[in-house]
A and B are shown apart, each in its own frame.
Chain A
């Protein structure tokens, strides 16, 4: 039970972070604070 909950929480965290990462390389989403280096795998020509 606890193992399943942990797996769910970790997957959900990974999903949210991936969404945040991909969302910020969108054309209409300039970052309001400091821009970290964009990983090569999600970098694209805009």
Chain B
């Protein structure tokens, strides 16, 4: 549906602006990205608000996006699956963040566990590409690894600070978002998203 609407609108724009087919394809691609992201973000915000898990879901979602943009990771093969899995995982983790209660020392363990898991993934798999986009250049890969390490260390420091001022719920939610982002760069994450768990045929 998103592709069809993007193609329609990009054809209209190209006609009006006298663009060739090459430029039309770029416009359609850009529109698919914009619509996809907007639909995803608004769906997560609306459903989490309805389910009364708004704050924890937003904490999970923001942490997930910040890392996911940099480290990459697995994608589903259709927009429908990606949308459904994305929304469900965010809502589930948001709900978990809401119900899990941990003591400050247990939260410290969770933060350190997340940090070690992330560091291991960075060393082994980041940046994780897909068939459509793969970063092969060695110096670029090294640069992204360093940026990811800086980012996860900044997250560690911020989480320890937030823990000290009693914002436990948000740290748990944020950790879950970070864990999901890094899980999706592992071979297990790639395996899970490529499984034919359900037969949906959204276009």
**A interface residue numbers (CB < 8 A to B):** 10-11, 13-14, 16-22, 24-25, 27-42, 45-46
Q: Given A34-B82, A39-B28, 17 more contacts at CB 8 Å?
A: A10-B13, A14-B19, A19-B30, A20-B30, A27-B127, A27-B140, A30-B69, A30-B72, A30-B133, A32-B68, A33-B75, A36-B3, A36-B29, A36-B32, A39-B29, A40-B25, A46-B135
Check: B153 CB closer than 8 A to any chain A CB. Answer: no
**B79 — nearest CB in chain A belongs to which residue?**
A34
Bound: A3/B70 CA distance, A: 42
Rounded to whole angstroms, the CA-CA distance of A10 and B23 in the bound complex is 14
Query: Which B residues are in CB contact (< 8 Å) with A21?
Result: 26-27, 29-30, 33
User: Chain A contacts of B28 at CB under 8 A?
Assistant: 39
Q: Are A41 and B76 in contact, CB atoms less than 8 angstroms apart? A: no
CB closest chain-B residue, reference A46: B135
Take A17-B31, A42-B26 as given contacts and tell me if A35 and B13 are in contact as well, using a CB distance cutoff of 8 Å: no
* Complex contacts, A11 vs chain B, CB 8 Å: 17
Band of interface residues on B: 35 or more
The answer to whether B73 has its CB under 8 Å from any CB of chain A is yes
* B26 and A10 form a contact (CB under 8 A): no
Residues of A within 8 Å of B17, CB to CB, are 10-11, 14
* Pair A18/B27 contact, Cβ less than 8 Å: yes
Question: Does residue B201 face the partner (Cβ distance < 8 Å to A)?
Answer: no
Bound-state CA distance A29–B67 (Å) is: 10
Is B147 among interface residues, defined by CB-CB distance under 8 A? Answer: yes
**B40 within 8 Å of A (CB atoms):** yes
